[in-house]
Amino acid sequence: MNYVKAKDLVTFKTGKLDSNAAEEGGLYPFFTCAQTTYQINSFAFDTECVLLAGNNASAIFPLKYFNGKFDAYQRTYIIETKQKNQLNIRYFYFFLIPYLKSFEQQATGATTKFLTMKILNNIQVALPEIEVQDKIAEILSAYDDLIETNNQRIATLEQLAQQIYKEWFVRMRFPGWENTAFQHGIPDGWEELPFAGLVDILSGGTPSTNTISYWNGDVLFFTPKDANTNCIYAFDTEKKITDQGLENCNSSLYEPNTVFITARGTVGKVNLNLYSMAMNQSCFALRGKTGISQSYLFFATKSNVDSMKSIANGATFDAITIDSFSRFKALKPTSDLINKFDDILIPFLNEIKCIVEVNINLTRIRDLLLPRLISGKLSIKQAEAFTP
């Protein structure tokens, strides 16, 4: 296999804009160092390229492929091939995916981690014949396309679920509302309580990082870095601990459908956990008290996040504390209405779970295929047989 340094194959440019240049509902994608792709109403680039975050406080560098008009933040790398008959840029995108972990280790800086040109220029790129690159990119893109289609399905289901919650519990158009008496804007049978009156608030903790036997086990360990902004469910974690590590920290193993809310770092992100997870001290785990289901609690928590943030530390917030949950009011509907809500919402959530698990498998297969295709252990013809 022929290996060539990245600096001989691609060019590295950066955007020119500040990260706050995004415009809601803009016509073009706006790529920053965040995982989320924003929008903007102007474009500075019209090309096929790989986009790679150049800095990140958590040393997590989002990687994306795009072809078309867009603009970019000044620390986002726009990577283009020098010669299309030598390097397929989408092949290069897939080739970089396994490097993301090593980027975390190589990045420089104390509070903010930076990917330098020295790191990127010296990547040794496996370079099969261009026809082979084209086929590899085509095969792996089929997985990405299906994953993206599934993500759109998840987003649609989430939006529908969110709208049902708002219709019933914010706009007060729940089943039977026409025949329900209201007192001071609250339906009869409902209660107005401090939010803490709806939930048991549970904390986490981190096992000693100096004890090797506590780490790299099979127990998922949720931190603010793992908050999933693209889906209701958190399903993977950057770090994992051992059973011994779990025994030697202040976290329990929280069962699926616990509500996780990030309290420091990335503040106010809300997820349900797809699998059992431990949790660090920068988050809270919420379980509904009697009569409060986890599906209702998830949407009620998301609906009240802004109140929680503003009460916590004013306009500029750094943390949510246990006290924050007691300092604003929330409504407790009747148990009968929450049960009816569950009857409608749980099928939505179950469908989302199924799609997430399909995407997990598609991603795993895609990432396994690349090294086997490059090494020749798996032929193009064999891989095509598995293409979704």
Label residue 314 exposed, middle or buried (CB < 10 Å: 0-12, 13-18, 19+).
exposed
Q: Render pLDDT for 328-344 as a digit per residue (tens, 0 to 9).
A: 899 999 999 999 999 99
Does pLDDT of 312 surpass 70?
no
Does pLDDT of 313 surpass 60?
no
Q: How confident is the model at residue 310 (pLDDT cuts 50, 70, 90)?
A: confident
User: How many whole angstroms separate alpha carbon 186 and alpha carbon 33?
Assistant: 44
**Confidence at residue 334, expressed as pLDDT on a 0 to 100 scale:** 96
**Confidence at residue 314, expressed as pLDDT on a 0 to 100 scale:** 45
Mean pLDDT of 250-262: 96
Does pLDDT of 207 surpass 60?
yes
**Confidence at residue 192, expressed as pLDDT on a 0 to 100 scale:** 94
User: How many whole angstroms separate alpha carbon 42 and alpha carbon 44?
Assistant: 7
**Confidence at residue 1, expressed as pLDDT on a 0 to 100 scale:** 78
The number of beta carbons lying within 10 Å of the beta carbon of residue 229 is: 11
What tokens appear for 350 in the block? Answer: 């179950």
**Confidence at residue 7, expressed as pLDDT on a 0 to 100 scale:** 95
Mean pLDDT of 302-309: 84
Q: Render pLDDT for 141-194 as a digit per residue (tens, 0 to 9).
A: 999 999 999 999 999 999 999 999 999 999 999 999 999 999 999 999 999 999
Does pLDDT of 59 surpass 80?
no
**Confidence at residue 27, expressed as pLDDT on a 0 to 100 scale:** 96
Does pLDDT of 223 surpass 50?
yes
CA dihedral (283, 289, 293, 299) in degrees, to 10, reads -50
Does pLDDT of 3 surpass 70?
yes
**Confidence at residue 8, expressed as pLDDT on a 0 to 100 scale:** 96
User: How many whole angstroms separate alpha carbon 307 and alpha carbon 327?
Assistant: 9
pTM recorded for the entire structure: 0.85
Mean pLDDT of 11-40: 92
Mean pLDDT of the chain: 92
**Confidence at residue 318, expressed as pLDDT on a 0 to 100 scale:** 67
Pairing status of strand 45-53 against strand 76-81: antiparallel
User: How many whole angstroms separate alpha carbon 263 and alpha carbon 260?
Assistant: 9
Q: How confident is the model at residue 120 (pLDDT cuts 50, 70, 90)?
A: very high
Q: Render pLDDT for 142-151 as a digit per residue (tens, 0 to 9).
A: 999 999 999 9
Mean pLDDT of 65-93: 96
pLDDT more than 90, % of the chain? 74
Q: How confident is the model at residue 56 (pLDDT cuts 50, 70, 90)?
A: confident
Does pLDDT of 315 surpass 60?
no
Place of tokens 């916590």: 312
**Confidence at residue 19, expressed as pLDDT on a 0 to 100 scale:** 85
